[in-house]
Structure 1
Amino acid sequence: MLDYRPLGRTGISVSSIALGTMTFGEQNTEAEGHAQLDIARDRGITLIDAAELYPIPPKAETQGATERIIGSWLKARGGRDKVVIATKVVGRSDATYFRADGSTTRLDAKNITEAVEGSLKRLGTDYIDLYQLHWPDRAVPLFGQRATTRARGGGPEVPVEETLAALDALVKAGKVRHIGLSNETAWGLSAFLAAAEKGIGPRVASVQNAYSLVNRTYETGLAEFLQREDVGLLAYSPLAQGFLTGKYLDGALPAGARKTLFNRTQRYEKPGTEEAVRAYVALAREAGLTPAQLALAFVTSRPFVTSNIIGATTLAQLEEDLGSLDVTLTPEIEDRIDALHQLHGNPAP
């Protein structure tokens, strides 16, 4: 069942399932986005996750459309104080369409301030509940890359303290309530927490990282750290971009699916991933569950997960995903999942 969990040390509780919105404005129309948001609110979901980057795939023509759709829903439905709006500023990038002057993006005061103002306008709100750094300013492996981290001094980066000070100014101005990180490492989180301890800026409330049956790398470097420091995990891609539903097995390309439309799913096409997916799909069916419900119930039930970010392109998919709230994983299924993890590891980090 849906429950409500503390968001770090903020004093806010959020629903254990969050609605991800990155399809709004690309795969989903405004009306379809509103319908998803209506269902989410009716079912008790309070956390809505977005980004200035969205929708996906990112491009100049659609950038910001997701936030505008959420904003028009808020205007039509009201109840701003009943939802927790989370959005993100892009990290260091060579893309030039995010900023008005055509400059590339950095996590400095200029960029963060402009990004916040843009998000507030599109969302039609005076404040953002949780403002997240979409990815670090420094060079780290991102979105499934296996490259090694650049050595210190290997390139430009905005210091953590400078970024945090910029966020602090927005919190003090009332435009942001709390801050979070995304696609972050244990070192990055520790640097932000240490800076906050020195009084430089606000304390990080959450980290939004990928976490699923085929990517449990979070458990090794961050799970204990975040639990002891009261920093929550907002788990994204719990279905591994749809792969854990089994719909792409044996080369299948369903009409309207993300891989079919955009071919941007290489993170989940690494060697060994299909074999792992096949094994989890078989376990779900043996247990009388849909593959999506097994995968989502696993993520939501982890003790270190604050909220599991689900996303859908159809209302039927959304209802199936929400059905995972009625699933309780038995000790036997947990043992089977751990056995499969021992065999297959993390093929899609």
Structure 2
Amino acid sequence: MQTRPLGTTGIDVSRICLGTMTFGEQNTEAEAHAQLDRAVAFGVNFIDAAEMYPVPPKAETQGLTESYIGSWLKGRQSRDDVVIATKAAGPGISHIRGGPRLDRQHLHESIDGSLSRLNTDYVDLYQLHWPDRSTNFFGRLGYTHDEDEQATALEETLSALKELVDAGKVRAIGVSNETPWGVMRCLKLADTLGVPRVASIQNPYSLLNRTFEVGLAEIAQREQVGLLAYSPLAFGVLTGKYLNGARPEGARLTLWDRFSRYSSEQATAATEAYVALAREHGLDPGQMALAYVNSRSFLTSNIIGATTMDQLESNLASEALTLSEEVLEGIEAIHQRIPNPSP
């Protein structure tokens, strides 16, 4: 398993990260533990969670993901050989902290809740799940400025995160669903206020959504704030399992019709082309899609997710796959024809 530095923190993380948002919804506690055991045995040292998980977010299941990881950690010999990341929710979900914000009071409350559920004294990477301001994320295109919005200032947010670092509850901080302006503003405040420097950007990135390459990829490399790529298989769409109207039993898009980001006519056409390219070269379509993300120079870690052990094994196997120039050229040709159908 390749490892890459997590920003300038001195922490090294595996190129594959185990995503856990199915734990507590599609996966039982026992299944979650089995996934964690297998991933670590394979060489994965990086585990990503969030206080909001599992997904879809519901009051009755909120926090189960962290609790399942916590019960697994409790049985381990050493906490220090895994890198645990979690996230504080931003505004918009009323069942978390009465309506979460990224201010001082909320962040202290959020980290204490996560640490309790995770059965640990610290998290290695604490991320802002989405901004506390109106901007472009979760597929929104086009920025509309709101002079009257009541957003928490980044100065307060980062100062609160510094308190968590100083208290030993957090080793490093990161952002998620963030824009180029947001990342650069955080970096500037780190220089001027002496607050922690963001180490990573957890944003969507896949063959169906390469918008990270515009603006953020340059920041990731020049500023050493690498990408933690989420949805690299576009909710499983890039495996080809949903083509021709198929809806496999128990699959995410079968269970919930709210997830339409990767199901447009253009996304389906692009998926058909990528799946055909993979099969033309004797490759598993999902592994090809993951291997492409793995190969990006601005990537720190690729966050995989699975509901079955067979899916997990297939995803892990992508670590050993190097795509040929012919395959890479084929991917670029499809991207030129149908660019970013699922931003």
> 2:221 aligned with 1:212, yes or no?
no
Q: Which secondary structure state, in structure 2, belongs to the residue aligned with residue 268 of structure 1?
A: coil
Checking the alignment, whether the CA contact within 8 Å between 2:24 and 2:65 is kept in structure 1 is yes
Checking the alignment, whether the CA contact within 8 Å between 2:134 and 2:146 is kept in structure 1 is no
Distance in structure 2 (CA, Å) of the matches to 1:296 and 1:226 = 19
Which residue of 137, 146, 159 corresponds with 1:142?
137
Distance in structure 1 (CA, Å) of the matches to 2:154 and 2:254 = 39
Q: Which moved more, 1:263-272 or 1:34-43?
A: 263-272
Distance in structure 2 (CA, Å) of the matches to 1:68 and 1:191 = 33
The correspondence of residues 194-209 of structure 1 with structure 2, limited to 5 A, is 194-209=188-203
Shift of 1:149: 2.3
Distance in structure 1 (CA, Å) of the matches to 2:207 and 2:263 = 14
- The count of corresponding residues between Structure 1 and Structure 2 is 343
Which residue of 142, 149, 159 corresponds with 1:155?
149
Checking the alignment, whether the CA contact within 8 Å between 2:103 and 2:160 is kept in structure 1 is yes
User: Which amino acid in the other structure matches residue 175 of structure 1?
Assistant: K
Task: Give the corresponding residue for 1:69.
Answer: 68
Task: Give the corresponding residue for 1:16.
Answer: 15
Task: Give the corresponding residue for 2:174.
Answer: 180
> 2:250 aligned with 1:282, yes or no?
no
Distance in structure 2 (CA, Å) of the matches to 1:145 and 1:55 = 23
Q: Which secondary structure state, in structure 1, belongs to the residue aligned with residue 21 of structure 2?
A: coil
Distance in structure 1 (CA, Å) of the matches to 2:229 and 2:290 = 10
Task: Give the corresponding residue for 1:132.
Answer: 127
Q: Which 4+ runs in 1 deviate beyond 2 A?
A: none
> 2:164 aligned with 1:170, yes or no?
yes
Task: Give the corresponding residue for 1:89.
Answer: 88
Task: Give the corresponding residue for 1:321.
Answer: 315
Which residue of 108, 116, 124 corresponds with 1:121?
116
Checking the alignment, whether the CA contact within 8 Å between 2:206 and 2:289 is kept in structure 1 is yes
Task: Give the corresponding residue for 2:232.
Answer: 238
Supply the RMSD in Å over aligned alpha carbons: 0.9
Give the alignment's TM-score, normalised by structure 1.
Answer: 0.97
Give the alignment's TM-score, normalised by structure 2.
Answer: 0.98
Distance in structure 1 (CA, Å) of the matches to 2:137 and 2:303 = 19
Distance in structure 1 (CA, Å) of the matches to 2:336 and 2:95 = 44
User: Which amino acid in the other structure matches residue 222 of structure 2?
Assistant: R
Distance in structure 2 (CA, Å) of the matches to 1:177 and 1:302 = 26
Distance in structure 1 (CA, Å) of the matches to 2:55 and 2:222 = 34
Task: Give the corresponding residue for 1:297.
Answer: 291
Distance in structure 2 (CA, Å) of the matches to 1:70 and 1:264 = 26
Shift of 1:78: 2.9
Checking the alignment, whether the CA contact within 8 Å between 1:161 and 1:200 is kept in structure 2 is no
Distance in structure 2 (CA, Å) of the matches to 1:336 and 1:206 = 30
Task: Give the corresponding residue for 2:34.
Answer: 35
Question: Structure 1's 159 and 334: CA in aligned 2 closer, same or farther, altered over 3 A?
Answer: same
Checking the alignment, whether the CA contact within 8 Å between 2:53 and 2:62 is kept in structure 1 is yes
Distance in structure 2 (CA, Å) of the matches to 1:282 and 1:172 = 51
Shift of 1:152: 4.7
Distance in structure 2 (CA, Å) of the matches to 1:20 and 1:212 = 15
Q: Which runs of 5+ in 1 are unaligned?
A: none
Distance in structure 2 (CA, Å) of the matches to 1:151 and 1:141 = 10
Checking the alignment, whether the CA contact within 8 Å between 1:132 and 1:181 is kept in structure 2 is yes
> 2:331 aligned with 1:332, yes or no?
no
Which residue of 233, 238, 249 corresponds with 2:243?
249
User: Which amino acid in the other structure matches residue 86 of structure 2?
Assistant: T
Q: Which secondary structure state, in structure 1, belongs to the residue aligned with residue 68 of structure 2?
A: helix
Q: Which runs of 5+ in 2 are unaligned?
A: none
Distance in structure 1 (CA, Å) of the matches to 2:185 and 2:237 = 34
Shift of 1:324: 0.9
Q: Which secondary structure state, in structure 2, belongs to the residue aligned with residue 244 of structure 1?
A: helix
Task: Give the corresponding residue for 2:96.
Answer: 98
Q: Which moved more, 1:52-61 or 1:320-329?
A: 320-329
Shift of 1:46: 0.5
Shift of 1:327: 1.1
